[in-house]
Amino acid sequence: MANTSYPASYYAASANPVPPRPALQDDVETDVCVIGAGYTGLSSALFLLENGFKVTVLEAAKVGFGASGRNGGQIVNSYSRDIDVIERSVGPQQAQLLGNMAFEGGRIIRERVAKYQIQCDLKDGGVFAALTAKQMGHLESQKRLWERFGHTQLELLDQRRIREVVACKEYVGGMLDMSGGHIHPLNLALGEAAAVESLGGVIYEQSPAVRIERGASPVVHTPQGKVRAKFIIVAGNAYLGNLVPELAAKSMPCGTQVIATEPLGDELAHSLLPQDYCVEDCNYLLDYYRLTGDKRLIFGGGVVYGARDPANIEAIIRPKMLKAFPQLKDVKIDYAWTGNFLLTLSRLPQVGRLGDNIYYSQGCSGHGVTYTHLAGKVLAEALRGQAERFDAFADLPHYPFPGGQLLRTPFAALGAWYYGLRDKLGF
């Protein structure tokens, strides 16, 4: 990994202070070696420590360097694929388990924030905004679907009601999820890392896992040290590269970009989002936005397949922001950055075990803030010998991208172009 400092994001500029963490320079022994200090790795580490495991975390760069420290900060429940699609693919029993868990990640985040007193500007309330009658119809059926799995806190918003929560004239309606919400994502990761350390976990930064020696007692090698463990959890997601070749074949790193305005001031900020909810629209290539603690608008959207970094992020995202909020035409953009998430063909996470002792979870395809927190719990359960919920994820079928590693990028871009066109034309 070439660059190991945080990108020049609003989050890095407003991060809570943290102590420096050393690189691994010894040979150490532990129960579980976690590779990657994003939400998947940190959530796994926390649940394991709470259950008496000894945990060592290896992070190639810094805590929250990846998507977890760069994302839109939206606590969006469920998965990047609807439960009815899952049900058709895997049958009612497995779908029931997955459906029951669909809103658990958001609860875990709130429990973490409360238990470890994490300062991360947590706010309740997320809106899915419909741009067309067809999208509104989809939200209505999604509400019925989620209710079928016991998630009953959702409220449909007609055109008049959505205008009360977001000053964007494009929307015909929406759905409010009060168990959604938003956070300062890097400060959540940093707070979780501090919680890991408060329970005796050890985190090494600037310590990439460069080789895994598999076997009954696997060893993870870094440039200057190694960790012998009973179990390994691989949580490098879109930044993992080819460390575990089996995992690279069925997923594809994708870039997505975010901008942050200058502080808007209370009055303008309140006029855009009076209840301070976060919003994502219902397009396939969706736009999403929210206010920060100091009243900036964070706006994200679009995807770069294959995770190339675009030259001028502001030129890509600002027009989308002005389409939603033309009233921001004179507002300055203070920060613009990019980050990678990991796409799977089904858009469902890839979870599983390699041999007896290497576990992984990756590829939640865009909506990962809540899922990754759930993943940590489910992986910890599996290591404790309770694998029913782990197996519900592990049994999801996954397929390689058409075209293999060489052609998957243009094929996926073509697919996205088609769906983007459908969004534009409203069919």
Ligand X SMILES: Cc1cc2nc3c(=O)[nH]c(=O)nc-3n(C[C@H](O)[C@H](O)[C@H](O)COP(=O)(O)OP(=O)(O)OC[C@H]3O[C@@H](n4cnc5c(N)ncnc54)[C@H](O)[C@@H]3O)c2cc1C
- Contacting residues toward ligand X, per CB under 6 A: 35-41, 58-61, 65-68, 70-74, 76, 208-209, 235-240, 243, 256, 258, 288, 300, 339-341, 364, 366-369, 372
Residue whose C-alpha is closest to residue 125's, from 89, 94, 157, 100: 157
What whole-number distance in Å separates Cα of residue 176 and Cα of residue 187? 25
Per the DSSP assignment, residues forming a β-bridge with 258 are 300, 337
Give me the phi and psi of 318, to 5 degrees please.
-60, -45
DSSP 83-95: HHHHHHHH-HHHH
Nearer Cβ to ligand X (280/427): 280
The beta strand positions in 278-367, using DSSP E, are 278-281, 287-291, 297-305, 333-343, 350-354, 358-362
Whether the Cβ atoms of residue 358 and residue 320 lie closer than 8 Å to each other:
no
Whether the Cβ atoms of residue 273 and residue 290 lie closer than 8 Å to each other:
yes
Nearer Cβ to ligand X (34/130): 34
Give min distance, CB of 421 to ligand X, in A: 23
Nearer Cβ to ligand X (35/380): 35
Give min distance, CB of 1 to ligand X, in A: 6
Nearer Cβ to ligand X (157/303): 303
CA angle, residues 354, 233, 345, in degrees to nearest 5: 65
What whole-number distance in Å separates Cα of residue 94 and Cα of residue 81? 15
Give min distance, CB of 66 to ligand X, in A: 2
| Three-class DSSP category at 18 | coil
Indicate the residue whose CB is closest to ligand X: 368
**CB burial readout 58-79, b (16+ within 10 A) else e:** bbbbbbbbbbbbbbbbbbbbbb
Nearer Cβ to ligand X (75/154): 75
Give min distance, CB of 404 to ligand X, in A: 22
Nearer Cβ to ligand X (7/163): 7
Give min distance, CB of 64 to ligand X, in A: 7
Nearer Cβ to ligand X (110/421): 110
The beta strand positions in 183-296, using DSSP E, are 202-204, 211-213, 219-221, 226-234, 252-261, 278-281, 287-291
Nearer Cβ to ligand X (36/218): 36
Give min distance, CB of 131 to ligand X, in A: 19
Give min distance, CB of 198 to ligand X, in A: 20
Give min distance, CB of 375 to ligand X, in A: 8
